[in-house]
Chains A and B, each alone.
Chain A
């Protein structure tokens, strides 16, 4: 291991934040308060998580690992719900979609022997899967809201012709799933040529042979594809029904 970040170098690196703050002040961006809060929160959260993970890894208990994974999933679901802009039942939908997408993806990775059920592997991988699923679902919600507003007339006309809710919403649901998955697809296309993603960079940083590191990154690319597609599909198919009432009418202004 050739990592040399110690407390002293961290304090010196704080100078980088000063540069950002100076730019903020000079340009009167009014974001200095947010920036300071962000930095303080990041430091505290990461320290807490670092010590917590150290403790959990040392304990190496299946139940504790499972509880932590569930907490990650719930937090991710809660955050995705915050982006739903009032879609009813967004919390259970988000938590359910992230739970299933994480469980399926982790299950396949374990069956394939790529990871083992030990906290040092399960927790970081679950976090990556759940956070990507969360972002994808947030995008799905935003798109569903925008499209149901923009395509309101077309949806009403489909309903008026006797379409069921699935037929009336099909185009919107498809576009929303696509929107949710797009960032993962885009980053898969540019991985290695534009960015060296976190997992791979971290391994290379820690002295692992780049050829081994890319294998992990390939695994990450596959698992994020799976997680965002499962999460987007489930969230969109569960959420679109919330735009209608029990008489299968589009909710919203009547004319």
Chain B
């Protein structure tokens, strides 16, 4: 089933086109790897899909409906976006894992938080750990947990392993694979990493604001 459908999506700032004629269909549960040179428009494309930016032309449909018909807040809870160098909120790890609950006015599920932390190699006692004391790899794991504490349908990842060492990289990718395979979350991941590109199930390449490979199937 097609979950996301982009038809002739374009984005321009003033007269300068950043993206042109993007046609892309992504099925539910799929893992799409997005690559291309720096400045080619990959981040802009995923920000449009995440509703952090609005396309200036074309159509973007999610679950059969135009993105314009969704409330942007409700949409972003279903299509979650993880950043390259995430900012952790508040003081502690708990503040971050609690955030998705707070914004939905739901009670914090501490048991789930502990299970999640243990799954990513942290412990229950790390819940009260100050975010400033986390290593780069730990920060990214906590940030990604924040994205999936309440499952989204799509997880967009903008070079989330850039800057991490090989061990942390492998760990983060195995985490994401788990979300994709076991939890059925659709993944759209930007990467420059050659081994990740080679291992891609479906590779989409963006060059100069256009898709060169892997667009609409």
A residues lining the B interface (CB < 8 Å): 153-154, 156-164, 167, 245, 247-250, 254-255
A-contact bits for B84-108, CB 8 A (1 contact / 0 none): 0111010000000001101110000
> Given contacts A153-B87, A154-B89, A254-B47, is CB(A160)–CB(B72) below 8 Å?
no
Chain A nearest CB, measured from B215 CB (Å):
22
Choose from B72, B103, B146 the contact partner of A247 (Cβ within 8 Å). Answer: B72
Q: Does B147 contact A (CB under 8 A)?
A: yes
User: Are A164 and B73 in contact, with the CB atoms below 8 A?
Assistant: yes
Q: Is B51 an interface residue (CB 8 A)?
A: yes
* Cross-chain contact A249 with B54 (CB below 8 angstroms): yes
In the assembly, what is the distance between CA of A90 and CA of B72, in Å? 25
User: Within 8 Å CB of B74, what residues of A?
Assistant: 162
Of B43, B53, B73, which is within 8 A of A162 by CB? Answer: B73
A167 and B103 in contact, given A249-B52, A249-B54, A255-B43 (Cβ under 8 angstroms): yes
Q: A247-B51, A255-B43 are known contacts. Are A161 and B100 too (CB-CB below 8 A)?
A: yes
**By the criterion CB–CB under 8 Å, are A162 and B89 in contact?**
no
- Does A164 contact B103, Cβ atoms closer than 8 Å? yes
Docked-complex contact B76 and A161, CB < 8 angstroms: yes
Residues of B within 8 A of A (CB): 13, 43-44, 47, 50-54, 72-74, 76-77, 80-83, 85-87, 89, 99-100, 102-104, 146-147
- CB A169 to nearest CB in B, in angstroms, measures 12
Interchain CB contact under 8 A, A160 and B73: no
CB distance from B213 to the nearest CB of A (A): 23
A160/B89 in contact, CB under 8 A: no
Interface contacts (Cβ under 8 Å), in number, total 65
Which residues of the partner chain A approach B100 to less than 8 Å between Cβ atoms? 161-162
* A-B complex: 10 closest residue pairs judged by Cβ atoms: A162-B77, A160-B81, A248-B72, A162-B76, A154-B87, A163-B103, A167-B103, A164-B73, A153-B87, A247-B54
Q: Given the complex, which residues of B lie within 8 Å of A159, measured CB to CB?
A: 52, 76
Docked CA distance A164–B105 (Å): 11
Residues of chain B with a CB closer than 8 A to A158's CB: 89, 99, 103
A158 to B89 alpha-carbon distance, docked (Å):
9
Closest chain-B Cβ to A154's Cβ sits at a distance in Å of 4
> In the complex, are the beta carbons of B89 and A255 less than 8 A apart?
no
Given A160-B81, A161-B100, does the pair A249, B89 have CB atoms closer than 8 Å? Answer: no
**Among candidates B13, B44, B51, B147, residue contacting A161 with C-beta atoms closer than 8 Å:** B147
Contacts of A161 in B (CB 8 A): 76-77, 80, 99-100, 103, 146-147
Contacts of B89 in A (CB 8 A): 154, 157-158
Which residues of chain B come closer than 8 Å to A254, judged between CB atoms?
Answer: 13, 44, 47, 53
A-B contact pairs, 27 of them (CB 8 A): A157-B83, A158-B99, A159-B76, A160-B50, A160-B52, A160-B80, A160-B83, A161-B76, A161-B77, A161-B80, A161-B99, A161-B100, A161-B147, A162-B76, A162-B77, A162-B100, A163-B103, A245-B54, A247-B51, A247-B54, A247-B72, A248-B72, A249-B53, A249-B72, A254-B47, A254-B53, A255-B43
Nearest-CB residue, chain B, relative to A244: B72
Name the CB-closest residue of A to B11.
A254
